[in-house]
Amino acid sequence: MEGVVLKLPSFRILNPNYSSPSSATIRLGFRSFSSSATDSVSAASIVKKGNQALESTSLGHITRPDFPILHQEVNGSKLVYLDNAATSQKPTAVLKALLNYYEAYNSNVHRGIHFLSAKATDEYELARKKVATFINASEPREIVFTKNATEAINLVAYSWGLSNLKPGDEIILTVAEHHSAIVPWQFVAQKTGATLKFVNLTEEEVPDIEKLKDMLSKKTKLLVIHHVSNTLGSVLPVGDIVFWSHNVGAKVLVDACQSVPHMVVDVQSLDADFLVASSHKMCGPTGVGFLYGKNELLSAMPPFLGGGEMIADVFLDHSTYAEPPSRFEAGTPAIGEVIGLGAAIDYLSGIGMQKIHDYEAELANYLYESLRSIPTVKIYGPVPSQNVHRTALCSFNVDNIHPTDIATFLDQQHGVAIRSGHHCAQPLHRYLGVSSSARASLHFYNTKEDVDAFILALNDTISFFTSFQ
């Protein structure tokens, strides 16, 4: 049952019954890596006022001027954007990079010998190098551009999965995975006879890592795991999980969509076989994501799509294929968007991912404690502590108020943008005993004032709906 969007006060109030799974403290492993990205960007120059400026002003206040979309009113109120797990906003540097491409050197890549084509190709391949450096891939050819992270997972499923899995093989996932990490492997299991096995949550509402470890066996051929949950905000010890998986001969695909934008991710340190992320969640344009794959794996995989530029030679009766990554980039790619992703990486690197992580860790605790202070709010996921890292994301429900009604009231009456629904994680919500939840998610350009405005608006929302009960 969905909430309806009407002009207030004409509101139909939805009061589903929610169960409330308990929350307690759990110790999660968390690896801290040093950043390997060194690029900087002029649009982030405001960040480079030195440590003294950063000590006196929060990172959110310093970077906020770089995001034009944040400086507007929505429904008569100042916009408070807290839906960053769905998509991030774009700094001026990224917008200018897109405009510059289309104004100055719009052309196809890897095809022409004229100046515009050569310039576009150089910038496109430079973006690949930037991505490789950003996640510390060993070489740029381990980066494949896709239209999003969903396509990147499907690429692995159809190219690696169909070629390497057979009846009796097992694929392990958790119940907390995004639909994009579940559905492709359902397709593969149906086609190959492989079996999907799922890891449940602990009482602390995080994937049961010890159970996962026990489930690994010689039958396990692939583990598909998120780094950060888009619903629970939990951070998994991916490095340890990869180590255990490799001990039984299994490959590991890491969904890093919610970690790459917020912390240092080092694929060589993690030793992940495959890793996917999405540009639009890391201050880049929509329409582009990327797959990291170890070179020896990509080289052994057949093409995912056929077409121009993924070939070596085409004959009437057969074709031969280019080496990776070209083998997996058929047709004209999203050139401007890839270049925009490169600009986003420059921007993030100019700030520093460790600095972003540290600042967001403070915001995460502030958001969690502020929400927890409201008696009728149930927050899902782990309780943060000295030993438990939680990202700046909280999915929650309020007693007897539908999350869609909460999100609608916050938007229409206060200009606060949050998410409501199942967050592409229906199995997880069913496991938690609810059909949907509200979600507030922050990025480095958010501030404690944003959290305060959200909490004030949420309290007003609760007061409004409880007045009808």
In this prediction, residue 39 has a pLDDT band, given cuts at 50, 70 and 90, of very low
Q: What's the whole-number mean pLDDT along residues 133-143?
A: 99
Same domain, 155 and 275: yes
Instruction: Specify the pLDDT at position 48.
Output: 41
Question: Please, what is the average pLDDT of the chain?
Answer: 90
| 64: its two tokens | 């906020």
Same domain, 311 and 363: no
Output b/e per residue, 257-280; b: 16+ Cβ within 10 A.
bbbbbbbbbbbebbebbbbbbbbb
| Same domain membership, residue 346 and residue 356 | no
Tell me the C-alpha distance between 331 and 364, whole Å.
41
Over residues 80-84, mean pLDDT: 99
The reply to whether 417 and 294 lie within a common domain is: no
Long-range contacts at 10-13 (CB < 8 A, ≥ 24 apart): 11/405, 11/408, 11/409, 11/465, 13/401, 13/402, 13/405, 13/465, 13/468
For 353-365, the pLDDT digits (tens) are 999 999 999 999 9
Same domain, 363 and 341: no
pLDDT at 103 over 90: yes
On the question of pLDDT at 221 being above 80, the answer is yes
Tokens of 334: 């999203």
Report how far residue 132's alpha carbon sits from residue 220's, in angstroms, rounded to the nearest whole number.
29
Sign of CA dihedral 393, 396, 401, 402: positive
Model pLDDT, residue 34: 29
Helices and strands counted in the chain (H then E): 16, 17
CB 360 within 8 A of CB 447: no
Same domain, 436 and 305: no
pLDDT for res 280? 99
pLDDT surpasses 60 at 301? yes
Assign 370 a pLDDT band (cuts: 50, 70, 90).
very high
CATH number of the domain to which 434 belongs: 3.90.1150.10
For residue 73, tell me if it sits in a domain. yes
Same domain, 384 and 332: no
Name the pTM for this structure: 0.89
> Beta 393-398 vs 319-321: how paired, if at all?
unpaired
Q: Is 394 noted as a catalytic residue in this protein?
A: no
Residue 113 lies in a domain: yes
Structural domain contains residue 432:
yes
Does the structure show a pLDDT above 70 at 12?
A: no
- Structural domains of the chain, count: 2
In a domain, residue 294? The reply is yes
CB atoms within 10 A of CB 336: 21
pLDDT of residue 105: 98
Q: Are residues 227 and 131 in the same domain?
A: yes
Active-site residue, selected from the candidate residues 257, 283, 394, 424: 424
Q: Report yes or no: 174 and 207 within 8 Å, Cβ to Cβ.
A: yes
On whether both 342 and 381 belong to a single domain, the answer is no
Domain that holds residue 284: 92-350
Q: What is the pLDDT of residue 388?
A: 81
Q: Work out whether the CA dihedral 240, 157, 130, 324 comes out positive or negative.
A: positive
What integer pLDDT is reported at residue 57 of this predicted model? 86
End of a domain among 299, 328, 350?
350
Residue 150 DSSP class? H
Q: Which of 323, 350, 377 is the C-terminal boundary of a domain?
A: 350
Is 284 within the bounds of a domain? yes
Mean pLDDT of 319-337: 98
pLDDT for 52 equals 38
